[in-house]
Chain A
C-alpha cells in the first residue's frame, strides 16, 4: 500500500492557481523529493497533505485514510517540519520538545525518554536548557526537525528544512534524515537545492508554476535530457571568427548539441572524456585559443533548465 497518494490536487488563492493538478504517490519506506524554485507551490502542496487547509479540489490519502475528511486521524501518522522555525523562542529547547511531544499524545516517562533521544539525534543535548532564541539558525532548524520526530512518525514531511543555515548544520541535517529513512521512516522532502534532493531522495518530482513537470528517479530524470554532460569551453576573445566554429564541428556533433554564446562554446555529449581532445583540436584548428574547459555532469539543475529554460534559483 502507498504511504501517500495525491490525486489531481488543486489550490487557488483568489485568481492565483498556486497548485494546478498535481498527482503522485509515495511508497512506504521511500524518500521522496519535491524540487522547485521559490513560489513553485511546494509549501501549498505540503500544507494540503498535512491537512493545514483543504485543497480547492483533488484528493489526499494517507494509507487508506482520507486526509480531507479524517484530518486529525491522518495527522497522528505524520511528523511535520514546517518551512518556518515554528518554535516558542522564549522557551528552552527541552521545553519546546516537551510541548510538541505532548501535542502528539506523549506523556510521562515515554515523553522524557523521547525528548532525550531526540536531543541526542539533533546533537543539542548540551544546549537543551537554553532558550531557542539564543540559538544559531542551524541549531533552531535542528530543534524544528526534532519537534517533528518525537512520536516516531511513519511519514516525515519536511518543507525546506535547511533554508538559511551553515554548511555544517546542513550536513548534520541531511545525515539525520538519511538515517531516519534507512531506519524505515518514509520521507517527503521539499527543497530548491538540487544537491539535497539528489543526495537524499530516491524519487523526485519537479514542481514549477504549480505543476508537476517531471517525476522519476534521479537516473530517469537525467535520461529525459539524454543523460548528456555539458562541456563548456571558454574562448580567447582576441580572435573574432568564433562564428565559424559550429560549422567545423557539425561532422562530430548533432547541431542541437552545439551552442555558442559570445566567448562560450557549449557542447552536450554523453561521454565527454572520449571526445574532449578531438574537440579542443578542432576548435584550435580554426585559430581560436581555448582558455578553459568545464565539464558539468548532468544534474537536476540541467534537467530543470532543459524543461523550463530557466535556472532553479532565479
Chain B
C-alpha cells in the first residue's frame, strides 16, 4: 500500500503542478459556468419594465400587489405623465392605469384597467394574459362580495393577493426553481466535461511514460501490478474528486449555490468520477500516443456531452435524440444530478441512473485495462 500511495502522490503532484491541468480542471469550468450561468441570470435581471399608475388607496395598493405577483416583469409605480413618457420612449413596454373608481367600472362592466402601450411587442403579448387574468380575478372577487358590502372588497383582495395557493403563483415558483436547478446542473455538467478532458489527458500520460521508460522501470521494480494499477487509478479518482469538490465549494461560497443532499451527492459523484476515470483509461488503452488520445478524446467528449444533455437540458431536444442520449453516460449523469440537486430524489430514477453508470464504468474499465500493456 505504501508503494501505491507513493505513486498516487507523484501523479497528483505532477498533475496539479502543471498549469495546463489547473486551467482545464478549474479555470475553464468556472469561466464557462460564469458566462453561461451569467447569461441565464442576466435574462432574469433584464426583465421588461411595466409602469403602474395608481392612487395610494387600499384597493389600488392591493391590486398593485396582485400585479406584482408576476415576476417575469419588473413593475414600477410612476405618475401618469411619467408613464406616458416611458412608454413613448419605449423604456417601459406598457403602463397599467388603475382607475380611482374601480368599483364603478365593475358595476358598469367596463374594462378594469387602462393600458398605455406604444407597440404590441412580444413582451406586451406575454403581459396581456396576466393583466386579463388579474382583472378577471378582481371582478370575480367583487362579484363574490358585492352583495355583502363594499367594505369587504379590499379585505378580499388582500386575501387573494397574499394567497400562496393561487395557480399563477405556483407556476411562477416552479419556473423559478427549475431555472436555478438548471444553472446548477450546467455548472456540474461543465465540471464533468472538463474532468473528462483532464482525466483522459492524465490517463494517457501512461503512454508517454511507456515511451519515456518510467513505466517500464516501474514494471521491473518490485512493485506489483496491483500496487501500480491501484496507484494510477486512485490518483485519477482523486484528481477528479479534488476538482469536483473545489468547484462545488467555490460555487457554494461565491454564489450560495446548493447541491442537494450530500448523502446522495457524494456517493453518486464518486460513481460519476469513477466512470470518468474508466473513460480516460479506455481512451489511453485504445491508442498508441498521447496526441492520438487527445485528438480522440476531444471529439468523443464534446459529441457525447452534446448528446447527453450537458450543454442544454435534454428535454429540449427531439424525442429521437433523447432516446439516443441513453447510449452515452452523460445523460445518466445529468439525470442523477438533477434528481439530487433539485431535491426531488425519485429513488427509482436515481437507481436507474446509478445502475446505468455502473454498467458504463465496467465496460470502460474492461476495455481500458485490456488495452494497457503491463510491460
Contact = CB atoms under 8 A, between A and B. Distances in A.
B213 A80 contact: no
A192 to B, nearest CB: 18
Given A83-B213, A86-B217, A104 B222 contact: yes
A262 to B, nearest CB: 46
A147 B213 CA distance: 13
B109 interface: no
B10 to A, nearest CB: 6
A52 B219 contact: yes
Interface string A64-102: 000000001001101010111111111100000001101
B299 to A, nearest CB: 28
Contact of A91 (B14, B213, B222): B14
A253 interface: no
Nearest to B17: A90
A261 B219 CA distance: 51
B213 A52 contact: no
B214 A75 contact: no
B3 A75 contact: no
B223 interface: yes
B216 A86 contact: yes
Contact of B10 (A82, A88, A107): A88
B218 interface: yes
A84 B212 contact: yes
Contacts of A88: 10, 14, 214
B212 A103 contact: no
A229 to B, nearest CB: 41
Interface string B221-262: 111100000000000000000000000000000000000000
Contacts of A51: 219-220
B6 interface: yes
Interface in A111-128: none
Given A52-B220, A75-B220, A90-B14, A102 B212 contact: no
Given A99-B6, A99-B10, A102-B6, A87 B214 contact: yes
B2 A80 contact: no
A306 B185 CA distance: 75
Interface string B94-116: 00000000000000000000000
A99 B224 CA distance: 15
Nearest to A80: B220
A84 B210 CA distance: 10
A85 B217 CA distance: 10
Given A52-B375, A88-B14, A91-B14, A103 B213 contact: no
Contact of B220 (A50, A90, A91): A50
Given A86-B213, A88-B10, A103 B17 contact: no
B221 A86 contact: no
A105 interface: yes
A71 to B, nearest CB: 9
A223 B48 CA distance: 102
A53 interface: yes
A107 B3 CA distance: 10
B316 to A, nearest CB: 44
Interface residues of A, number: 28
Nearest to B10: A99
Interface centre among B14, B17, B216, B218 (most CB of A within 10 A): B216
Contacts of B211: 84
Nearest to B215: A86
B224 A103 contact: no
B222 A76 contact: yes
Contacts of B218: 103
A72 B217 contact: no
Interface string A122-157: 000000000000000000000000010000000000
Contacts of B217: 80, 82, 86, 100, 147
A178 to B, nearest CB: 24
Contacts of A84: 211-213, 216
Contacts of B10: 88, 91, 99
A72 B2 contact: no
Interface string B337-371: 00000000000000000000000000000000000
A49 to B, nearest CB: 10
A84 B214 CA distance: 9
Given A88-B10, A88-B14, A103 B216 contact: no
Interface in A194-253: none
A85 B213 contact: yes
A105 B211 CA distance: 25
A63 to B, nearest CB: 15
B14 A100 contact: no
Given A103-B221, A105-B222, A52 B3 contact: no
B221 A104 contact: yes
Nearest to B220: A50
Contacts of B213: 82-86
Contacts of A107: 2
Contacts of A78: 220
Nearest to A76: B222
Given A103-B3, A103-B6, A75 B222 contact: yes
Interface in B182-231: 211-214, 216-224
Given A88-B14, A90-B17, 7 more contacts: A52-B375, A53-B375, A80-B221, A86-B212, A99-B10, A102-B2, A103-B3
Among all A-B residue pairs, the 6 with the closest Cβ atoms: A84-B213, A86-B213, A86-B217, A103-B221, A53-B375, A50-B220
Interface of B: 2-3, 6, 10, 13-14, 17-18, 211-214, 216-224, 375
14 contacts: A50-B220, A53-B375, A80-B220, A82-B213, A82-B217, A84-B216, A86-B216, A88-B14, A90-B17, A91-B13, A103-B218, A103-B222, A103-B223, A107-B2
